[in-house]
């Protein structure tokens, strides 16, 4: 851990708690939007852990996970430091959208560019102001659109330490997920920093289950990193999946799932149906393999090819 953490010219020493506001960009209304960064430093030495929420502005569970940890004081480490950014994309949050107002996705804009679009500017700020200060990170997400994710940690198993960290977090599911081009996780990885992606629930909705698993997992990771002494036990053992697929709609229509998020399914099991809205036809949906449902589309209206269920398989024993 560095002697001082230096963010936007503010020096934060051991034993100090600070809130720094990063100046990013103005809205077209000339309203300034600053990005609040909370820094919690214990007196004792230890790693620096970054918590980021709301990189996608409509994904609220992560914002609530970090907010509750701040509010309850659980965020305070006994050793080391926590840098918390509950809401990275305030711009998208204001409009209930994933990206920034020009439609670009921050999580596909890394490592960013100082003179680029707003998404690239935010990415650039994170890479220059925050990433050099940290050792580890958890980036909190939910499913996109109306798709809900069962609480899961995603990381690439090609980096052995990632898997150890994911196991320490102890989410119900751990998924091998290759690094996505221009994502925050990949850009941080190139700088030698380990970032886990936590996914739980769906956009624009709170999931108590996903929020609680997120808080508990963060505390378990902090304990693993020797930042705190006590952390909650796992509610369910982690299952590690090597592969996952999307089950997609073969027809457009009204989708009803009889299978639930988190459920184990067998090959050829009936999972639900897609109905034609005028009452003539109903097409049944069957499982293509034995798997577990780790993501589920809650939108009743689906188009041909839409993602219905995310299923994981190839369980690591």
For Zn ion, the binding residues (CB under 5 A) are: 56, 59, 141
Q: Residue 118 or 259: which CB sits closer to Zn ion?
A: 118
**142 or 238: CB nearest Zn ion:** 142
CB of 112 to Zn ion, least distance (A): 17
The nearest distance, CB 192 to Zn ion, in angstroms, is: 23
Select 59 or 64, whichever has its Cβ closest to Zn ion. 59
Nearer to Zn ion, 56 or 185 (CB): 56
Closest chain position to Zn ion (CB): 141
**CB closer to Zn ion, 53 vs 253:** 53
Q: Which is nearer to Zn ion, 41 or 141 (CB)?
A: 141
Closest by CA to 141, choosing from 187, 103, 107, 94, is 107
How far is Cα 317 from Cα 241, in angstroms, rounded to an integer?
9
Q: Output the six-digit token pair for 10.
A: 């503010």
**Closest separation in Å from C-beta 56 to Zn ion:** 4
Cis-peptide into 10, omega within 30 deg: no
CB of 57 to Zn ion, least distance (A): 9
Residue 143 Cβ, how far from Zn ion at the closest point, in Å? 8
Please say which residue, 185 or 292, places its beta carbon nearer to Zn ion: 185
Q: Shortest distance, CB of residue 83 to Zn ion, whole angstroms? A: 19
Compare residues 6 and 182 and give the one whose CB is closer to Zn ion: 182
Exposed, middle or buried: residue 17 (CB in 10 Å: 0-12, 13-18, 19+)?
middle
Find the shortest distance in angstroms from Cβ 201 to Zn ion: 11
Write down the least CB distance from residue 82 to Zn ion, Å: 21
Region at 15 (left for phi over 0; alpha for psi -120 to 50; beta for the rest): left
């Amino acid at each position: 851990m560095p002697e001082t953490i230096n963010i936007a010219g503010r020096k934060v020493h051991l034993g100090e708690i600070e809130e720094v506001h990063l100046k990013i960009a103005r809205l077209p209304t000339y309203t300034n939007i600053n990005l609040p960064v909370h820094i919690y430093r214990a007196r004792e030495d230890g790693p620096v852990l970054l918590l980021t929420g709301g990189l996608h502005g409509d994904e609220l569970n992560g914002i609530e996970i970090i907010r509750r940890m701040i509010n309850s004081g659980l965020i305070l480490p006994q050793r080391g430091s926590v840098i918390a950014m509950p809401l990275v994309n305030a711009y998208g949050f204001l409009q209930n959208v994933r990206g920034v107002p020009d439609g670009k996705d921050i999580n596909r804009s890394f490592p960013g560019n100082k003179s680029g679009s707003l998404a690239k500017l935010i990415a650039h700020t994170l890479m220059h102001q925050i990433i050099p200060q940290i050792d580890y990170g958890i980036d909190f997400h939910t499913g996109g659109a109306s798709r809900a994710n069962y609480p899961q940690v995603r990381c690439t198993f090609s980096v052995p330490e990632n898997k150890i960290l994911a196991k320490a977090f102890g989410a119900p599911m751990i998924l091998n997920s290759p690094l996505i081009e221009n994502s925050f996780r990949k850009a941080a990885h190139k700088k030698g920093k380990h970032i886990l992606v936590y996914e739980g629930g769906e956009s624009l909705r709170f999931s108590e289950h996903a929020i609680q698993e997120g808080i508990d997992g963060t505390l378990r990771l902090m304990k693993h990193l020797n930042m705190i002494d006590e952390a909650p036990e796992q509610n369910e053992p982690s299952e590690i999946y090597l592969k996952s697929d999307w089950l997609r709609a073969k027809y457009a229509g009204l989708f009803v799932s009889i299978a639930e998020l988190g459920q184990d399914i067998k090959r050829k099991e009936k999972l639900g149906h897609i109905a034609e809205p005028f009452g003539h036809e109903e097409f049944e949906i069957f499982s293509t393999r034995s798997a577990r449902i780790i993501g589920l589309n809650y939108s009743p209206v689906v188009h041909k090819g839409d993602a219905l269920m995310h299923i994981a398989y190839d369980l690591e024993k």
